[in-house]
Amino acid sequence: MANHPDNVRIAIKTGVEETTLETHPWPDLGPDEGMLKIEACGVGGAEPEVYRAGDKWLPVAMGHQIVGTVVAMGEQAEKIWPVELGERVVIQEYLPCKSCEWCLKGEYRFCPEADFFGGSNPQRYGLIDPTVGPKLVGGFAEYIQLPWNTVFHKIPQDLPAELATLAIPLGNGVQWATLDVNAGPGKTVLVVGPGQQGLGAVLGAKDAGAEKIILAGMSRDQTRLDLAPELGASDIINIDEESLLDGLKRILGPDGGLDVVVDTTGDPGGKNMDQYLEVANYGAWLWVNCMDRGVPTRAIKQKYLTVRSGRGRSWWAVDTALRIITSRRFPLEKMCTHTFGLEDVDLAIKATAGREVEGAIHCIVDPWK
């Protein structure tokens, strides 16, 4: 980048639910590095958890749903990267080794360098301490530094940045619903929890050809429940108005059952699980965020269930999500409900957690707002 700013602004988490707007000089780049001009950065569903953590991730450069334009590349980066100067990209948060068996499969989330469970310091945008390395390593910034092992997805020049920020959360939904538990043609699918990833699971199942897609949520999720039919949901259950089981029986009838369940909620105590297991078909697939009460071994054996969980998504899931986004088949702009500037990152994260702002679905930080 021949002409670049002398200084770059970035929002850093410096305390529990505390953000500081810092200014740092434009870095001296190595031959295998580059710079990305941020167009927009989505606020992920995990961001509020990171933001309120007190004994971990402090300080941290937050923001991982990153969309921008490549504006600088070192000599080696020009040779090894699948992008050119001026191209627009979504980058995944993982900073993997690019050589282990998982990386060679496009499963960067399992690389020991980037995996939550592979070590105490997973290398991924949104979780990096900026005091021990490069300063510009979080998406809530004007520019960020790109190391040699950045994971790129190129996007069309005319794709609105706010839609591109959905690639990561929708990629999660695609991974969980279709690649993990086989939602597909003719299947009846239940998605529990209408967050970003839950709506992504609805979209993924619809794109994969599922016949019936049921979305369950609560009254506080009404804005999301109202939007869901436009994203592919055939039926909605508000569990504050009727029990999950009653809603499922109403929709499925006496002889119907579930082929696939994607439970994004965590379901403390297994209350939801008790109800959807009752109407799960023999041979059904379940994706569960966690099981506080343990694995339902009896139900698994009785109904020959396959139970999976997950974290993050593969390269292919994001690629599929971008295909869904760029197809413009769905009114995804309705998911992008709120945009904030760098000065309001604190509010953007809290809004994503359902605090202080009404009706938020997907919040975006625009550093140029």
Structural domains in the chain? 7-166+335-365 (3.90.180.10), 170-308 (3.40.50.720)
SS3 at position 124: strand
* b/e map 170-188, b = 16+ CB within 10 Å: bbbbbbbbbbbbbbbeebb
Secondary structure class of 172 (helix, strand, coil)? helix
* Cα–Cα distance for residue pair 219/197, rounded to 1 Å: 18
SS3 60: strand
Which neighbouring-strand residues pair with 23? 9
Burial class (CB in 10 A: 0-12, 13-18, 19+), 99: exposed
pTM above 0.85, yes or no: yes
Closest residue by Cα to residue 340 from 67, 89, 140: 140
Q: What is the mean pLDDT of each run of 10 residues along the chain (369 residues)?
A: 87 96 96 98 93 88 97 96 96 95 93 79 88 92 97 96 97 96 97 95 98 96 96 97 97 96 83 92 92 76 92 93 97 97 97 92 96
- The pLDDT assigned to 292 comes to 62
pLDDT, residue 37, reads: 98
What per-residue confidence (pLDDT) applies to 310? 82
Task: Determine the pLDDT at residue 61.
Answer: 95
Residue 153 has what pLDDT? 97
Strand partners, 124: 94
Who contacts 310 (Cβ-Cβ below 8 Å, separation ≥6)? 175, 176, 180, 287
Neighbours of 309 (CB within 10 A): 13
